[in-house]
Amino acid sequence: MSLTHDAALSPSAGRRFRAYTAKHLDELTARAGLSDNERLAIRAVATVLPFRVNSYVIDELIDWSAAPDDPIYRLTFPQADMLPQSDVARMADLLRQGASRSEINRAANEVRARLNPHPAGQMELNVPSSAGADPLEGMQHKYPETVLFFPKQGQTCHAYCTYCFRWAQFVGEPDLKFASGEVDHLVAYLRRHPEVTSVLFTGGDPMIMGEGVLSRYVEPLLEIETLESIRIGTKALAYWPQRFVTDPDADETLRLFERVVASGKNLAFMAHFSHPAEMRSDLVHEAVRRIRDTGAVIRTQAPLIRTINDSAATWAEMWRTHVRSGMVPYYMFVERDTGPQDYFAVPLARAYEIFRDAYAGVSGLARTVRGPSMSATPGKVCVDGVTEVAGEKVFVLHLIQARDPDLVGRPFFAKYDEKAVWLFDLEPALGATHFPYEAAPPEDPSGLVAGSANL
Ligand SMILES: *Cc1c(COP(=O)(O)O)cnc(C)c1O
């Protein structure tokens, strides 16, 4: 790797963005050396779950000699066993019979409905509008200081991750979408809510928007004094670093970032990186350098995913490379309770071990990272460890973020369960009848239970 990352970038550096979708899947899986039957099963999965890659992912990130085991291949390509076998067989039959699009879609929708398309009450958390009638579409205000905003034009990504918890919005079913084109409402909302210090643009990937559209969302926020930071949640550094280097609006985009910084706000670039292989091209290093030159801070985060990044060595290498490039490790997430979760889930006990082993092996500069963290209905729940209290083996947990700020940062306990993969698999420990974020059960109207807070 060159030290300057300036000259001779990757061969696809100057090429225009080109997406590959389900119609290219057969050709691409043939390149991975899969048989006819395996390829049909993968196409069957792709009738249900979204698929999209691009020339950079294909040419620069995937090691085709290692496919289908290559982690970036697994990160982006559907796998035959991601859905129950009966569903795959049914969809494969429809494909084999040359069923109509609407027939395929009807069957696919039935499968999707069983995959918890909207985890953690995502649809219910819309903010009520000032009129008190319709919810403000495309906005989520769950924690007092931060508002999530989903720009209407940012509802796709440069490529899709197979494990994405927002998969439902990419499958082209209008009633599963979640979006907003209403920056005026966002501005009005922020003026009424000075406690909101951070707006997080998310999607999809906001960096799919060109500079012209993105600036129409971002510029009006620069006038809001109470706002301290603007965050952009994006996978573009991993999937299309050209966005910041050689795309026609790359320079204009960086000027926009500079204007945010000049306005006295933090521009926090929340970069989704899933695997160290995403840091191997010269192009991504050049993109990181250019973004950091604007004064923006890049923080990195990803979920822990079985068969893609479920080892401590992988995470330690990833955090090391990030710190080396001046990025700040932020969150390790637990895979959410949606889509093919059974396929990707890492048990909480194992997730904690991976986190701890990786954390123990990196310098303090990388220990800005927190996790493993579950973004669940009550808030972000962090698994701090496994220990024994009064002879009982327990998980120690705390809320990093909570709808009720009073619950933040207070340790609580759950019975140790080697197989638990999500919050709802856990049970209160040490005689407690409920978790701190739950109402006391009716048998105990006084609320004076032996809760973890009393220990
Ligand atoms: C994670 C998250 C945020 C931001 O939380 P931080 O801990 O500040 O990064 C805001 N809203 C929702 C709904 C989230 O899940």
pLDDT digits (tens, 9 = 90+) for 325-381: 999 999 999 998 777 778 899 999 999 999 999 999 999 999 999 999 999 999 999
319 and 174 share a domain? yes
Higher pLDDT, 266 or 164: 266
Assess whether 128 and 107 both reside in one domain.
no
Quick check: is 415 in a domain? yes
448 and 428 together in one domain: yes
Asked whether residue 50 is domain-assigned, the answer is: yes
Final residue before a domain boundary, out of 360, 385, 402: 360
Q: Taken in order 200, 205, 211, 213, is the CA torsion positive or negative? A: negative
Q: Are residues 305 and 349 in the same domain?
A: yes
On whether both 89 and 176 belong to a single domain, the answer is: no
In terms of Cα–Cα distance, which of 390, 399, 402, 400 is closest to 432?
390
DSSP 8-state code for residue 58: I
Residues 100, 187, single domain; the answer is no
Position 290 in a domain:
yes
User: Do 278 and 414 fall into the same domain?
Assistant: no
How buried is 187 (Cβ within 10 angstroms: 0-12 exposed, 13-18 middle, 19+ buried)?
Answer: middle
Q: Is residue 366 part of a domain?
A: no
Task: Show the domain range for 380.
Answer: 376-455
Residue 369 lies in a domain: no
The pLDDT value recorded for residue 181 is 58
Which tokens hold the place of 339? 């889509």
Residues 25 and 78 in one domain: yes
Ligand 1 centre distance from Cα of residue 230 (Å): 13
Same domain, 414 and 266: no
Confidence at 172, pLDDT banded by 50, 70, 90: low
Residue 112, pLDDT above cutoff 70: yes
| Whole-number Cα distances in Å, 280 to 3, 14, 32, 285, 286 | 13, 18, 21, 8, 11
pLDDT at 455 over 50: no
Higher pLDDT, 116 or 73: 73
The pLDDT of residue 451 is: 43
Clarify whether residues 88 and 132 are in a common domain: no
* Residues 283, 241: Cα–Cα separation, whole Å: 6
Residues 123 and 108 both lie in one domain: no
pLDDT at 317: 98
Nearest CA to ligand 1 atom 4: 146
Q: How far is the CA of 199 from the centre of ligand 1 (A)?
A: 10
Atom number, ligand 1, closest to the C-alpha of residue 270? 9
**Count of domains for the chain:** 3
Q: How many residues does the chain have?
A: 455
Using most ligand atoms within 8 A of CB, pick from 118, 148, 196, 400 the residue to mutate for ligand 1. 148
Predicted confidence band of residue 133 (pLDDT cuts 50, 70, 90): very low
With the most atoms of ligand 1 within 8 angstroms of its CB, the residue from 123, 125, 143, 149 to mutate is 143
Query: In this structure, is residue 365 part of a structural domain?
Result: no
Question: Which ligand 1 atom sits closest to the C-alpha of 400?
Answer: 7
36 & 157 share domain: no
Whether residue 367 is contained in a domain is answered as no
The CATH number of the domain holding residue 307 is 3.20.20.70
Q: Look at residue 10 and tell me if it is in a domain.
A: no
Does the structure show a pLDDT above 70 at 136?
A: no
> What digits encode the pLDDT tens for the residues 383-408?
999 999 999 999 999 999 999 999 99
**Which of 62, 94, 113 represents a domain boundary (last residue)?**
113
- Say if CB 418 and CB 399 are below 8 A apart: no
Q: In whole angstroms, how far apart are CA 231 and each of 218, 260, 305?
A: 10, 11, 24
Q: Give the percent of the chain with pLDDT over 70.
A: 88
C-alpha 402 – ligand 1 centre gap (Å): 9
Query: 264, exposed or middle or buried, with CB in 10 Å at 0-12, 13-18, 19+?
Result: exposed
Domain boundary residue, one of 53, 81, 113: 113
Residues with CB under 6 A from ligand 1: 140, 142-143, 146, 148, 200, 375, 380, 400-401
Owner of token pair 């809510």 = 193
